[in-house]
Amino acid sequence: MSSSTDSPTLTTETTQLSPQPDTETAKPTKKITLKSSDNQIFEVEESVAMEFATVKSFFEDSPSTDTVPLPNVTAKPLSQVIEFCKEQIKFKANPDEAQKKKYNAEFVTEKSDKDLVDMIPVANYLEIKDLLDVLNQAVADRIENKSVEYVRSFFGIDNDFTAEEEAALRREHAWAYEGVDED
Amino acid sequence: MRLSASARAEKSSLDDEAGGMSVLDLPELVLECILERLPPAELCSMAGVCTSLRERCVSDHLWEKHMKQKWGRVIGPAAYREWQRHLASRKDLGSCKQGKPKWFMRLLSMFWPSSWSTPKADPINNSKQRSSPPVNSIMSWYLALETGKFWFPAQVFNRENGDVGFMLSCYDASLSYDQGTDAFQVRYPSHGRRAIATESGVPWERLRAPPFDTSPHDLHISDCLNDVRPGDHIEIQWRKNKEFPYGLFSIPETCY
């Protein structure tokens, strides 16, 4: 790790990438219109839209389309997903793993539980693998060391165990139930 | 296989999420990805959330990694056989209510919450009914090890009086894990006139799975003696002789 100075691909803290990647000025920016299931319109740059594998293949199938309907996606998670992908494109232009990791961590930290859980099906539907990985890990991290009740409310799941089953589970999984964080 | 976007749209069943997304509505693969990232204690918690998650959280493929990671180094074929013996003895005891070991009853009730009082019931039907794993699932083994309820055979490196000369030798022993101290309780078998010895607080570093799958009382016949070259490391067994504990032949009596 200490050999970062001889590696030309690594960017150090002091030489961070500029916020505007060169590619944006080099290419004419084509906009693509996305329409969410609640009829909100999002104009995004083509490079961002192409991060969505689903949208990309939609365009490959019907190149003349100007608006891509996304019947499975509501506006709020979509706007957050777009925000994420915009940043990822900057990292593609100027690879900096440390910065990218930092951004990804901050991206999920500031989201509410609901926002996180709502974004997962969107990332899955749009086939944004990087985001899906980040979200899955974030969810796994958030339920770590939490009580069963917390996990239930986190995911909005109803308890369908009988009282006896629940008591048996509680006894048997005692070691897992011990020392959980306060909800 | 590539689907067009419209085909995907039709395929997906996520469009009626207005009433609040549940993790159970996630596509199978996505949920799997989350579960794969959970450490053992969280998998256990998740198994307690609802029957559907329980069905997923007990599956062997999720536990295999944890088993390997935590126990792989000290668990060998002998330990696995011992576990199978435990399972078999539970089967035998199934019809004899008095004879069931307590820990096993607890394990049983964990995996068969609705059926543990009817031990003769067909496990396969039960697993369908209640989505529980068979008792011989990796999870049940992991938990039996983790909670120290299962004593497993392994080898423990000698710390006899801190004498460096003997610290490379090891004994076959039976071990139980103590989660609180992250160390082991050890029972050394009796040998000849020596009674069973016990030791506690034995750290992970002193453990290993037996390098050969031979009983502590049998002589291992090496099949690679002809290939031994200068510089090779060899292990010498002091087994067989039941009068003395193996590994201690050259320690003078004054050490005891």
pLDDT for residue B123: 42
Q: Per-residue pLDDT for A51 more than 50? A: yes
Does residue B20 form part of some domain?
A: no
Q: Does B26 touch chain A (CB under 8 A)?
A: yes
Domain co-membership, B135 together with B105: yes
pLDDT for residue B125: 40
User: Which tokens go with A54?
Assistant: 């689903």
Q: Tell me the range of A4-8, A93-97, A173-177 where mean pLDDT is highest.
A: A93-97
Q: Per-residue pLDDT for A174 more than 80? A: no
**Where does the pLDDT of residue A179 fall: very low under 50, low under 70, confident under 90, or very high at 90 and above?**
low
* Chain B: closest CA distance from residue A137 (Å): 7
Domain co-membership, B127 together with B142: yes
Domain co-membership, B170 together with B244: yes
Q: Per-residue pLDDT for A9 more than 70? A: no
Tens digits of residue pLDDT in A11-41: 434 444 444 444 445 556 788 899 999 999 9
- Between these two residues, A117 and A79, which has the higher pLDDT value? A79
Q: Cα separation of B72 and B64, whole Å?
A: 10
- Between these two residues, B126 and A150, which has the higher pLDDT value? A150
B219 Cβ contact list (under 8 Å, min separation 6): B237, B239, B240
pLDDT for residue B134: 58
Does residue B132 form part of some domain?
A: yes
Q: Is B54 exposed, middle or buried (0-12, 13-18, 19+ CB in 10 A)?
A: buried
Does residue B164 form part of some domain?
A: yes
pLDDT for residue B104: 40
Query: Domain A29-143 carries which CATH code?
Result: 3.30.710.10
Q: Which structural domain range is residue B188 located in?
A: 151-212+240-248
Q: Does B5 touch chain A (CB under 8 A)?
A: yes
Q: For residue A54, what is the enclosing H or E element? A: helix A53-61
DSSP 8-state secondary structure symbol assigned to residue A127: T
Asked whether the beta carbons of residue A72 and residue B2 sit closer than 8 angstroms, the reply is no
Q: Which pTM was predicted?
A: 0.68
Domain boundaries, chain A: 29-143
Asked whether the beta carbons of residue A148 and residue B49 sit closer than 8 angstroms, the reply is yes
Q: Cα separation of B69 and B173, whole Å?
A: 22
A44 forms bridges with which residues in the sheet?
A32
pLDDT for residue B187: 92
**How many contacts (CB atoms, under 8 Å) link A and B?**
143
Domain co-membership, B82 together with B140: yes
Which residues of chain B register pLDDT less than 70? Answer: 1-23, 91-134, 160-167, 191-193, 216-218, 238-256
pLDDT for residue A40: 93
Q: Which chain A residues in 11-70 lie under 8 Å from chain B, judged by CB atoms?
A: 37, 54-55, 57-58, 61, 68-69
Does residue B52 form part of some domain?
A: no
What ipTM, to 2 d.p.?
0.71
Domain co-membership, B131 together with B99: yes
Domain co-membership, B155 together with B244: yes
pLDDT for residue B246: 47
Domain co-membership, B118 together with B164: no
Phi, psi of A68 (to 5 degrees): -100, 115
A100 Cβ contact list (under 8 Å, min separation 6): A88, A91
Which value, to the nearest 10 degrees, does the dihedral of the CA atoms of residues B222, B223, B227, B232 take? -30
